Chain A
Amino acid sequence: MRLLLIIALLLPQLSLAEDAAVRKEVLAAKETVLELNRDLYELERELLSPATTRAAFNLTLNHGEYFEPLSIEISVDDELKVQHLYTERQVKALRMGAVQPLGDINLAPGKHSVRAVVRGVDHLGQGRELSVTEMVNKTSKPLITELVIVDRDDLQSARVQLKYW
């Protein structure tokens, strides 16, 4: 009888100890998962967009009085790489000075033909298309570019330029 009583008293203690051990194991497992996630993220960055082949495209709108973008398409060596459709809210943000990251692509070192076509409307509501084509020399360093839509007050028009950061 005494033995049964002792066992009955000890059982909850044993259960608590087991719970604590399980909690520790779960915590350790969570930490391992977090560590693994960090490693995977680093690996993913290195494999998918290594610095030697990284090319990034950004877009800004300078004033935007004579042109509002509706869409953009960027081709590299005649292959479509980046496309985007604009909403009114996004154009407002661009007008307020936002820099839009259009995307990162992988580009082998060497010379490449980059063509950007921006379709939109002018200040009279007429459909317009701005484009720029440039030969770009990709080195082993990341290529970071900015497409700038600039107003041309003298012609009441706009043009798109490619700048390098």
Chain B
Amino acid sequence: MGYLARYVVLILLSCASWAGETIEPTNSLRPGDLVPDFTLPAVNGFGQRLAEARGAPLMIVWLGRCDECSETLVRYQLLAESLAMDGLKGWFVWTPEGKDQPPKMRLPVLKYEPRWNQGWQFEGRPAVLLIDPDGELDHLITGDLDDNYPETEKVLMRWLSLGRDGQISE
């Protein structure tokens, strides 16, 4: 293969790798998908990286508009804490808007900010993502967090007791 052809292939490869560096917002996650890795800063401690949470089931509550919405999240926090014995980890992801203040929680509250290129935004929020120990999305529950709490609790208990069952809850 000539030098020119190799150069063209190289440029194409480079473009592909540069494109891969920017993590785009996603709303196309479906149960069964491998959840793209991210690292987000936390408002209450160290940042969290999804890849480091592998090996344990993870519940991510991706918040919609939230200004000190701790009351809404308390039930989710208690649920995650009560199931910590089963290895469950729980994170909240908060996106500040205007002068919104973050919720004050014991679990990590991650802050999405576009300036950090190691993160991505989930456009289908508010949503609860149940991610299995291999990093695959097992359940996606979208919609109002107050309304969806009973459904989340039911799905979560069944999910942890049966392991991956591949059922979809939306």
Contact = CB atoms under 8 A, between A and B. Distances in A.
Contacts of B118: 83-85
A70 interface: yes
Interface stretch (A19-27, A87-95, A109-117, A149-157): A87-95
A88 B7 contact: no
Interface of A: 36, 39-40, 43-44, 47-48, 68, 70-71, 83-89, 91
Nearest to B39: A85
A44 B46 contact: no
Interface of B: 1, 6-7, 9-10, 13-14, 39-41, 45-49, 52, 115-118
B13 A85 contact: no
Contacts, number: 48
B50 to A, nearest CB: 10
B49 A87 contact: yes
Contacts of B40: 85
B10 A83 contact: no
Contacts of B116: 71, 83, 85
A71 to B, nearest CB: 6
Contacts of A48: 14
Nearest to B48: A87
Contact of A71 (B1, B6, B47): B47
A40 B49 contact: no
Contacts of A36: 1, 6
B95 to A, nearest CB: 16
Contacts of A87: 39, 46-49, 52
Contacts of A84: 118
Contacts of B45: 88
6 contacts: A36-B6, A71-B47, A71-B116, A87-B39, A88-B46, A89-B52
Contact of B14 (A44, A70, A83): A44
Contacts of B49: 85, 87, 89
Given A36-B1, A48-B14, A43 B47 contact: no
A40 B46 contact: no
Nearest to A44: B10
